[in-house]
Amino acid sequence: MARKAAATPKAPGATVKAPRKAAQTAATASKAAPAKPKRVSRKTTPTPETLTELGLKRLIGLVLAETARNPGFKKLVTAAVASLQGPDAVAALIDRRLTALERGQGYIDWQKQRAFAADLDAMLTTVVNELATLDPGSGLERLIRFLGGAGDVLGRSDDSSGRIHGVYERAADAAATLIVDLTGPEAAAMSLRLVARLETDGYGLVERLLHDLIPRLPEATLAPLDAALSAATPPRPDAAGREQDWRAEAERSRLVRMRQALADRTGDVDAFIDLETERASGSPNGVPIAERLLAAGRAGEALAWVRRPQARSARIVTHEDLVFGAFDTSAPERARAALEVRILDALGETETAQALRWRQFEAYLDRDMLRAYLAKLPDFEDDAALDRAFAVVEAHPDRYRALAFFTHWPHPARAARLVAAHRGSWDGGRYEILAPAAEALERTEARAATDLYRLLIDAILERSRTSAYGYAARYLTALGHLAGHLEPGSISPDPQEYREGLRRRHGRKAAFWGQVRD
């Protein structure tokens, strides 16, 4: 048997605590004042400081492992290593890739285009970050060569995503940045090289660079550049072969536009007119000619040019036009008339200019023309003229144009009156007109704003325009705010019935109601 521990002798007058009680006391003390845990660093984001702590050997291992997995990264690392030998070594790497691109003939389908775009981007990064840093001129040369092959590469690739074209656009931006730093002689030599690249510049990337370069060229180089552009301009095509004529005419037109930019640089208005006459086959656009003649102080000639009958040209449709589905076919005529007004003012023909302003306002409800017309009137005549103008707007056959006028003048009361006058005949699909009008009428014309918002919501839901469901949800929220400002019985169906009707007709459009809840 184990022997019991000997009892500790007590000193006279002393109290000895049992060991268990002492342990309990210590535990209680530790609970009362818990020890602070050791803080663990959360700096895990790669930064110069955190990467330095990893050490060189470990970083090298990470880089090598990534080069084995990522071909694009491997090219960047290879170029960085080559830069230690100087710009010639980096240029040799880039030249090999450019040569391969220029010789390539295979089609790049959608399955390959992501990897192909990444490869192009790696090469572009090498040119910009490595070669251009060591030798800007050499880097610019490779960028120009790269852009010159854009037509061939894009022509044999499925670039529906725009990835490949985006790489070429970034290359053009990088080249423009390098061109800014060229001296006068360097800019002159580069401009002639760019002319040689125009023939294969099907996407206008090199052309854009040349336009950027022209304003900074030395005076002595303008004539040689004009001669080079003239020599590169193809002769006017004959009547045979419609497609071939179209391509040749497009090439002629863009080269002539560059020569016109040179004429503007030198201030030679007559050269600009001759080039415009040549470009347009005897039917030149009188508006740009008149603008330059007016700027040159030749207002009489400018008036004759701006009043020449103009042949109808192709309509350029912008992204905004496509989004809103509206095309202002009157824009060219309004621009021409605005220039004619300026010319008449310069000639001192005030009454004729005023008459033209009023005619333009009557035809197109042009707010700027009306404001200019009112500003030119004698004192105390503008109020009566404005009332007459508002009457013209209300009687205008295009009610959408009239509503846009009152929305942006602004005159909410007359806009609301116009909405009521044509109630039942508005097309909710014209949201480029109705949506701004509804927003402008919210504060003071609750009934008219409600009518317009309902039209917009109904059109979106009935036509299942899923991309516009977010707008419809916001319009429905706006209707909820407007409901409190409507007189009881002033609108049918009332706000609650309208919302219930939407539920009955479009209750299965979960995407829309999800937006409403959000």
**DSSP H/E element including 416:** helix 412-421
Question: 200: Cβ–Cβ under 8 A, 6 or more apart, which residues?
Answer: 148, 149, 151, 152
Confidence (pLDDT) at 351: 96
| Phi, psi (degrees; rounded to nearest 5) at 157 | -135, 150
Instruction: Mention every residue, 6+ apart, whose C-beta is less than 8 A from residue 68.
Output: 74
My answer on whether omega of the bond before 378 falls inside 30° of 0, hence cis, is no
Other beta carbons less than 10 A from residue 339's beta carbon: 20
pLDDT per residue, tens digit, the chain (518 aa), is: 444 444 444 444 444 444 454 445 444 444 444 555 555 455 778 888 888 888 888 888 888 888 888 777 877 888 788 788 888 998 999 899 899 988 988 898 888 888 888 889 988 998 999 898 999 989 999 998 898 888 888 888 888 888 898 999 899 888 888 887 888 788 888 888 889 888 878 788 888 888 888 888 888 889 999 999 999 988 776 655 445 567 777 788 889 999 999 999 999 999 999 999 988 776 889 999 999 999 999 999 999 999 998 766 555 555 445 444 455 678 889 999 999 999 999 999 999 999 999 999 999 999 999 999 999 999 889 999 999 999 999 999 999 999 999 999 999 999 999 999 999 999 999 999 999 999 999 999 999 999 999 999 999 999 999 999 999 999 999 999 999 999 888 899 999 999 999 999 999 999 999 999 87
Quote the CA–CA distance of 235 and 248 in Å, as a whole number: 8
The closest alpha carbon to 468, from 518, 427, 517, 429, belongs to 429
Q: Is 122 exposed, middle or buried (0-12, 13-18, 19+ CB in 10 A)?
A: buried
Residue ranges of the domains in the chain?
50-281, 285-311+321-396, 399-518
pLDDT at 208: 86
Choose among 130, 160, 485, 463: nearest CA to 325. Answer: 463
Take residue 310 and report the two structure tokens written for it. 């103009």
Burial 489-504 (b: 16+ CB within 10 A, else e): eebeeebeebeeebee
What backbone torsions phi and psi does residue 366 show, to the nearest 5 degrees? -75, 110
DSSP 335-388: HHHHHHHHHHHHTT-HHHHHHHHHHHHHHH--HHHHHHHHHHSPTT-HHHHHHH
Pairwise CA distance, residues 52 & 194, whole Å? 45
Q: Say if residues 43 and 50 touch (Cβ distance below 8 Å).
A: yes
Report yes or no: 372 and 389 within 8 Å, Cβ to Cβ: no
Max CA distance (Å), the chain: 133
User: What angle (nearest 5°) sits at the alpha carbon of residue 500, between those of residues 498 and 505?
Assistant: 95
Residue 314: its pLDDT value, please? 55
Confidence (pLDDT) at 1: 41
Q: Determine the pLDDT at residue 317.
A: 54
